[in-house]
Amino acid sequence: MQPASLALAQQLLGFDTINPPGNEAACMAFFAAWLSEQGFEVQLSSFGEGRSNLVAQMRGSAPGKPLAFTGHLDTVPLGNQPWQHDPFGSEVADDRLYGRGSSDMKAAIAAFALACIEQQQAILAGRGVVMLITGGEETGCDGAQALIAAGRLPEIGALIVGEPTANYPVIGHKGALWLRCETRGKTAHGAMPELGINAIYLAADALGKIRHFSPGAPHPLMKQPTLNVGRIQGGLNINSVPDRTAFDVDIRSAPNLQHATIRQQLGELLGEEVHVTTLVDLPAVLSSGENRWIQSVYHHCQAFFEQPLEARVVPYFTDASLLLPALGHPPCIILGPGEPTMAHQTDEYCLVSKLGEAEQLYGQIIAEWMKV
């Protein structure tokens, strides 16, 4: 028997929300209309042409703060490898729901939406639920930033992030600090390089220094912070001395490290010849595994795993980096049906069986929250 959330997941996957450019508005409008028909109060907000966020609420009658879910509808590009399954066809084969965004993370959004519908009576009699559905997450949480800036966040008591964990409860993730390092030289004719200053050579010197730079000490749970140079651009034509080169640095950090300190130390290492600017600054997320609510989530998830659950984190970032400080740092769990190894992959899929498990788990977590 297929989970009730499968049909909604397939509908969401039918929308092309590749970011860039994002263009989540049509998918977001469809989902808002669907939720409205199910009894949610919905509020759409734009943060650019074709870009939008959604806040949906089902209010309860009991005192206390609602339970919140968050997820993003934008996806990464398809990549250069050919797909064997239509990335927007929502095909199901051998327990796999194929499509760009199936694991990351439209299936999770469908699962927690259906779980809310199935638990509607408990929600109405309890403390209510909130959904924070964003665009622009894949390029640095642009939608969440716009949602916060617009002042559209209601009070919540706990947050579930539906990113792909194969339904294993995760209590945190690394932070992300993306920096652009730029060298500036002097252009000249390629036949007379002595008249110029080669910005590529300056960048090469800087890259030699940065290759062995450590962002800081390891964290007990998140282990060693990482640094990767992911992109470099320099020069306009072969027969000129390049006067500008830029390379982008991706640093993944932990709660024991301050991004301002990392940037300062890197700037001092590279020296005045390298101009450093911040592209993305997202702090690490880590909730206490001893929190009563998180322990209850562990209890519900344990039924799907043979070995005792342990505290885990993931290396990727989520909208929780920005949402949690804006919401007053409620307890947060990352929990979704998607396969972590399938995120951003060709022929991305989510297991239909995991989708059904997530729908069940979310329903149990909702029901328990409404009883407290």
3-state secondary structure of 140: coil
Q: How far apart are CA 189 and CA 70, in angstroms?
A: 54
**Helix, strand, coil content of the chain in percent (nearest 5):** 35, 25, 40
**Catalytic annotation on 137?**
yes
Q: Which of 290, 191, 205 is nearest to 241 (CA)?
A: 191
What confidence score (pLDDT) does residue 7 get? 98
Q: For 212-259, what is each residue's pLDDT tens digit?
A: 899 999 999 999 999 999 999 999 999 999 999 999 999 999 999 999
Of the residues 24, 118, 137, 359, which is catalytic?
137
CATH class of 175-281: alpha beta
Q: Are the C-beta atoms of 238 and 190 separated by less than 8 Å?
A: yes
What confidence score (pLDDT) does residue 311 get? 96
**Catalytic annotation on 24?**
no
The set of residues, in sequence order, having a beta carbon less than 8 Å from that of 66 and lying 6+ positions away, is: 57, 59, 60, 127, 128, 129, 130, 154, 155, 156, 157
Domain ranges of the chain: 5-173+284-371, 175-281
Q: How far apart are CA 52 and CA 136, in angstroms?
A: 9
**In the structure encoding, which two tokens stand for residue 204, read together?**
């090469």
Of the residues 74, 118, 243, 319, which is catalytic?
74
What confidence score (pLDDT) does residue 124 get? 98
What confidence score (pLDDT) does residue 1 get? 81
CATH class of 5-173+284-371: alpha beta
Distances in Å between the Cα of 318 and the Cα atoms of 61, 71, 181, 289 are 31, 9, 24, 19
pLDDT under 50: residue ranges of the chain: none
